Chain A
């Protein structure tokens, strides 16, 4: 097109383009910052539920999802209100959070750090989630917690039991309600001493990753303190499905207790192998051979079937507890899904309520306000008795349950029985305990 010769068509085209160009800025406006990431502007607020829906911990993840949906229903005033009625704080009124209706998005962590972060990022970037909750692996929890810290949203950890989550990998925007390996060990040691005596030789099989190591370290330290001897610690790959080659050497090692630092499918398989080898029928050093599974879950116990009978372990919470909160939660969960909740479901439900309550009390969704409201917060009525969210490391301190595989289960959910409710004072530790040292919360990050 020549610029010297003006055609009618050329004039119209140029005019249209110029007009559109001039009109464009009226449509475009820059993002209005409310001072923090994903500030809810409309009449709703979005929470992100990031759980494993595929992979080795999928069972746990799906149960977490059920509990999270239930929590949202209760927050929006639906159902019977569950634990909101027994919660010591009365800030939640059943009209959403700060009057905004709660909506949620879900994602699949695949129990892989990468996939979990991708899924959490899409919730934050695409769906505008202000809080991420859930997960069933410490590796994933640490990775997502780190992401939430840099993105400026709150992370309410789900099932994560490694010391590192609130130890060397602790972050200001992350909070853990679940107990940890140190607490398991502190609760188990006295029970094990009573049940099996103080002169035992323990053989450890440990899942070869971060959680397995911290748990093995914690259990070995606690049992050695009461007189046990650790014969050997063998690391097993996480992906193993057959543990017979690891069980055989146990028989010849002179050990009389086998500690399985395994979780999920690993634990089901290793325990089954151990029982098949007849370990529980053996007598070594004049004592009956015993097996200990430090971290239990209902779903694992159901998977291992009759093999768990008499085996001791620990849990964060169990639906058989008789306090008002636990009863209310078990009732509304059971009515909705026709089964009792697992302890991973419980922790995710409680975390969602705690977040909502903290926002109500702070009067803002700003992560820094939420952090302030949760730090050092004392509450009760959520199933574990009086609980403290410690400000130093964002770890909850509460009673720990010691469980035993039921000898005569009456139904498929009644596979574990409560041996002892270890009081909170017995499982507390200093924030700079060597097993938790090296971490730094940093500053809360509101993002944007």
Chain B
């Protein structure tokens, strides 16, 4: 279907179902129960899941296929955000021109940076992209303040021109009148489910982005990128110029990042310079590796995983902990709180770091590999898997794809 093989169609189907039913899936606990703390089904976080999913899918087209590790992808995200907010400021709150400009600007910007950085490969490429991103961050932070509004972040003021904004249109980013922040809440017994316009808007882009990524992965172009990853020198010696391919991959992934940045601005019309900082670039690398570099669904899972920790674990404070352990005697309660305290709230980075280590050490293929191992346990014909040749067999079957 849609020019996909059966397996890929199934994968796309799974992604479609997961994204469309996310408001249900992410809110498994009733709103008044103690476990509601772990619900992630509120619009802002769901939007972040899919937006950073798009960002990571794009990054994976470069890193997963060609093996070029870019440490500056956040710069394109930032460029996308700034372009989108400028469109809101100048034209109107309609998201269409904003997203179009975001993708185009990110594409141009990545073509420029890619053209220079791709002259080197390996660690030198990583350092070059990192340098460019840090440069963009500093420019946005102070030098280009008239364009970026510096540290405060670019915002929309009532005094902005907005030449195409009609009087009755919502004063929030909208798609021809459907405001991104409007939502409907359903109460089902003790559960509450929020369906937000913004989320479904982003979800459609995620599905499109995912579909495009499958097509790229399975195309001759994708094959060429994989060849670059396995041995670029050999390709050069056979007379192939690989640079156009890597540059194309770089620009495509830059445009994905620009789309993600534009969507971020559409959900929340503010663009801050921190979006371009090197930590933000590092985050997308973590997402991709955590989920499984080079796999289709891995980056999306990794993005969801990291954003979940950032937003859910960071909000567990001592007060909440005391609530959990209230049934214990006082001394033990305090001891339990003291033990868990460093890992939640401001310590969420620590928990994430530990999990990242565990994943990299025990599941080098990321969360996707964890899923595969789990699947193998339950699949009858692979019951004997885990023998000495399992890894080799795995690689062979991958290579055969």
Q: Is the CB of A114 within 8 A of B272?
A: yes
Question: Which of A119-127, A367-375, A396-404 is near enough to bind chain B?
Answer: A119-127
- Who on chain B is nearest to A440 by CB? B158
Contact of B45 among A115, A122, A210 (CB under 8 A): A122
Question: Which of B187-195, B375-383, B387-395 is near enough to bind chain A?
Answer: B187-195
Contact of B159 among A139, A235, A440 (CB under 8 A): A440
B236 within 8 A of A: no
Q: Give the contacts of B83-101 with A (CB-CB under 8 A).
A: none
Known contacts A53-B346, A122-B315; is-contact A114 B275 (Cβ 8 Å): yes
Across-interface contacts of A142 in B (CB, < 8 A): 152-153, 155
Contact of A209 among B141, B157, B310 (CB under 8 A): B141
Contact of B152 among A108, A115, A139, A235 (CB under 8 A): A139
Q: Is the CB of A118 within 8 A of B151?
A: no
Q: Give the contacts of B138-161 with A (CB-CB under 8 A).
A: 138, 141-142, 150-153, 155, 157-159
Contact of B158 among A69, A126, A164, A442 (CB under 8 A): A442
A106 within 8 A of B: yes
Q: Is the CB of A28 within 8 A of B270?
A: no
Please, how many angstroms separate the alpha-carbon atoms of A237 and B189 in the complex? 53
Contact of A438 among B159, B274, B314, B348 (CB under 8 A): B159
- Who on chain A is nearest to B158 by CB? A440
Chain A interface category by residue count: 35 or more
A187 → B minimal CB distance (Å): 25
Across-interface contacts of A150 in B (CB, < 8 A): 172, 181
Across-interface contacts of A139 in B (CB, < 8 A): 150-153, 272
Q: Is the CB of A121 within 8 A of B142?
A: no
Contact of B187 among A28, A58, A147 (CB under 8 A): A28
B242 within 8 A of A: no
Known contacts A113-B270, A146-B155, A150-B181; is-contact A27 B189 (Cβ 8 Å): yes
B397 within 8 A of A: no
Please, how many angstroms separate the alpha-carbon atoms of A139 and B188 in the complex? 40
Contact of B153 among A31, A58, A113, A238 (CB under 8 A): A113
B269 → A minimal CB distance (Å): 8
Q: Mark B175-216, 1 if CB is under 8 A from A, else 0.
A: 000000100111111000010000000000000000000000
A100 within 8 A of B: no
B43 within 8 A of A: yes
Q: Is the CB of A30 within 8 A of B151?
A: no
Q: Mark A235-254, 1 if CB is under 8 A from B, else 0.
A: 10110000000000000000
Please, how many angstroms separate the alpha-carbon atoms of A83 and B76 in the complex? 50
Q: Is the CB of A125 within 8 A of B194?
A: yes
Contact of A237 among B39, B42, B138, B188 (CB under 8 A): B138
- Who on chain B is nearest to A138 by CB? B152
Contact of A210 among B44, B150, B187 (CB under 8 A): B150
- Who on chain B is nearest to A207 by CB? B151
- Who on chain A is nearest to B48 by CB? A118
- Who on chain B is nearest to A123 by CB? B315
B198 → A minimal CB distance (Å): 11
A229 within 8 A of B: no
Q: Is the CB of B345 within 8 A of A106?
A: yes
- Who on chain A is nearest to B157 by CB? A440
Across-interface contacts of B172 in A (CB, < 8 A): 150
- Who on chain A is nearest to B315 by CB? A107
Please, how many angstroms separate the alpha-carbon atoms of A138 and B141 in the complex? 14
Q: Is the CB of B314 within 8 A of A119?
A: yes
Contact of B349 among A31, A54, A114, A238 (CB under 8 A): A54
Q: Is the CB of B311 within 8 A of A31?
A: no
Across-interface contacts of B272 in A (CB, < 8 A): 112-114, 139, 143
Q: Is the CB of B268 within 8 A of A238?
A: no
B319 within 8 A of A: yes
Q: Is the CB of B188 within 8 A of A28?
A: yes
Q: Mark B301-334, 1 if CB is under 8 A from A, else 0.
A: 0000000001100110101000000000000000
B46 → A minimal CB distance (Å): 10
A417 within 8 A of B: no
Q: Give the contacts of B273-311 with A (CB-CB under 8 A).
A: 274-275, 310-311
Q: Is the CB of A146 within 8 A of B270?
A: yes
Please, how many angstroms separate the alpha-carbon atoms of A305 and B314 in the complex? 32
Across-interface contacts of B153 in A (CB, < 8 A): 113-114, 139, 142-143
Q: Give the contacts of A293-329 with B (CB-CB under 8 A).
A: none
- Who on chain B is nearest to A125 by CB? B42
Supplied contacts A112-B272, A164-B152, 9 more A-B pairs, CB within 8 Å: A30-B184, A69-B319, A119-B314, A121-B268, A122-B45, A125-B43, A209-B141, A209-B142, A440-B158
6 A-B pairs with least C-beta separation: A209-B151, A53-B346, A113-B272, A121-B44, A126-B42, A112-B274
8 inter-chain pairs at a CB distance below 8 angstroms, sorted by A residue, are A29-B187, A105-B315, A108-B346, A118-B44, A126-B39, A169-B155, A210-B150, A210-B152
